[in-house]
Amino acid sequence: MTPRMRNRIGLILIASLFAAPLVTAYVLNAFGWRPAGMRNYGTLIEPPQDITGARIVDRDGKSLAWKDENWSWTVFALPGPACADACLQRIDELRRARLTLNQNAYRVRVVVVGDLPADALAALKPVYTVRDLDERLAALRPAHADEVAVAFADPHGFLVLSYPVGFDANKLRKDLARVVKN
């Protein structure tokens, strides 16, 4: 084998070492495989629903602000017809998931769509309640009493993720941490 042929073979081996991961990634992507770390646990709402035009108001009748410098993401807690102990515990899990974001906690607000007793609301601070006058979030609400579903809205007022009744709070927290960091 001549030195020129050895150099060509070496160049081809080096090029194949760099090309192999690219080809592998392309093939895996073509078959629909994604790494587990890239999956969200909530259900992606496609296409995202614009709710900036919805009349979502707080107890004082003020509209929910979307262009607020203190908030980035809104976590809507959507309780069923009657919110009792189990429902309040799930809302408290959302509040605690927000707190685990540490320095990014200020970028998330937890909003309950519906009324809560005043004493329960005081215990869940900084969670607050709103009313959905246009019923834009009604399709995501559970039908049974004492249950909670959840939806995420991005900083521009688009619903992007939803979680059905019985969601895993740890997985929700992971999704929340992932979107807040971006």
Residue 127 neighbours by CB under 8 Å, 6+ apart: 77, 91, 94, 95, 110, 111, 112, 121
For residues 73 and 29, membership in a common domain is answered with no
Mean pLDDT of the chain: 86
Structural domains counted in the chain: 2
For residues 96 and 29, membership in a common domain is answered with no
> In terms of pLDDT, which residue wins out, 18 or 61?
18
Q: Which residues form the domain of 155?
A: 43-180
Tell whether the model's pLDDT for residue 150 goes beyond 90. Answer: yes
CATH code of the domain covering residue 71: 3.40.30.10
Instruction: Report residue 38's pLDDT band, with 50, 70 and 90 as the boundaries.
Output: low
State pTM to two decimals.
Answer: 0.77
**Consecutive H or E run containing 66:** none
For residues 9 and 89, membership in a common domain is answered with no
For residues 25 and 76, membership in a common domain is answered with no
